[in-house]
Amino acid sequence: MNSFIILMCLSYHLVACEPQCSKFDYEEKTLAKIIRTEILVEQVMSDIKQLKQQTNDAVTSMERMKTELRESIQSMHAENALKLEEYNNTIMKWKDRLDIKPDVVFLAKDPTTQSPSSTIIFGTTMYDMSQSYDNSSGTFTAPVEGVYAFTAQMCLNVGAYKHIHYAIVANDRQVSNSLTYTKDTRFCNTVQAFVVLDKGQTVHVSALGTSAVPLRQNNANEWCTFSGILIR
Ligand SMILES: *[C@@H]1O[C@H](CO)[C@@H](O)[C@H](O)[C@H]1NC(C)=O
Ligand SMILES: *[C@@H]1O[C@H](CO)[C@@H](O)[C@H](O)[C@H]1NC(C)=O
């Protein structure tokens, strides 16, 4: 090897410009080039390996981020659903109270007969905000569900032993009862009832038992009436 280098140096010095010399020169350069190429390839390979590692790391961290993002979106969804349910419950709770109900109030008077035997029909409608009282049948029909108050007043006719037993009947059930009896005085008697009605249920005043001609004739001073109001 040493002798080869010496020989090469000698050859180089002696025949630097000779074409024979360029043979070694060429091989030497080729060798150097190959070595440089190998080093370069190694470096490139190492760079590629590093790049691959970095890419893998990036992919891994992106996947981790994706998972975290998905988890946080899922928890946000769950939180929102809970909040929505809470809001919905609150709204539902208040909905009934916020429901704007119509004005329901009526007053009717003047029974169509002085001798009623079942439903007392009050023929004159004084007022009826929701058009719920039928003055031809004597029946009130609830336009909405709610708590109602009803009043009925009977004025007895003048005469011996006049009496009337009557009741407010809500949805076919007596909810207020009175028996008014007098030997010979004029007076009126009032009954009242608070009832909860569903929409469409009816209320009327019923005569359950009477003497002959128990009611006073329609009179300016004494009124037989039937009235009602929606409280809430
Ligand atoms: C709100 O609550 C009511 C009664 O609990 C339910 O019927 C309705 O579907 C709910 N609405 C929503 C949007 O969750
Ligand atoms: C009976 O009721 C109707 C409407 O419901 C009304 O138009 C009429 O005036 C009432 N009649 C009397 C005598 O009040």
Q: Is the pLDDT confidence value at 17 over 80? A: no
Sequence-separated (6 or more) residues with CB below 8 Å from residue 197: 142, 145, 146, 148, 170, 171, 203
Alpha carbons within 13 A on the beta-carbon side of 204: 19
pLDDT at 82: 94
CA 55/CA 153 separation, integer angstroms: 94
Token output for 3: 């002798």
pLDDT at 185: 77
Domain ranges of the chain: 1-99, 105-230
Q: How confident is the model at residue 6 (pLDDT cuts 50, 70, 90)?
A: very low
Of 149, 107, 141, nearest to 125 (Cα)?
107
Mutation pick for ligand 2 pocket among 126, 135, 141, 227 (CB with most ligand atoms within 8 Å): 135
Q: How confident is the model at residue 93 (pLDDT cuts 50, 70, 90)?
A: confident
Given the structure tokens 């059930």, which residue do they identify? Answer: 173
Please name the CATH architecture into which domain 105-230 falls.
Sandwich (2.60)
pLDDT at 9: 46
CA 174/CA 197 separation, integer angstroms: 13
Percentage of the chain beyond pLDDT 90 is 69
Token output for 218: 């329609």
Of 6, 3, 205, nearest to 109 (Cα)?
205
Q: Is the Cβ–Cβ distance between 187 and 163 less than 8 Å?
A: no
Mean pLDDT value across residues 98-102: 78
How many angstroms separate the alpha carbon of residue 59 from the centre of ligand 1? 43
- Atom 9 of ligand 2, residue of closest alpha carbon: 125
CA 104/CA 97 separation, integer angstroms: 17
Q: Which of 173-177, 186-190, 201-205, 226-230 is the least confident region?
A: 186-190
How many angstroms separate the alpha carbon of residue 222 from the centre of ligand 2? 21
Q: Is the CB of 17 under 6 A from ligand 1?
A: no
Query: Between the CA of residue 56 and those of 44, 63, 106, 200, 209, what are the distances in Å?
Result: 18, 10, 83, 74, 99
Which ligand is in closest contact with the Cα of 95? 1
pLDDT at 22: 66
Query: Taking the model in full, what pTM does it have?
Result: 0.60
Q: How confident is the model at residue 205 (pLDDT cuts 50, 70, 90)?
A: very high
How many angstroms separate the alpha carbon of residue 76 from the centre of ligand 1? 20
Instruction: List pLDDT tens digits, range 185-198.
Output: 778 999 999 999 99
Token output for 63: 């996947």
CA 19/CA 7 separation, integer angstroms: 16
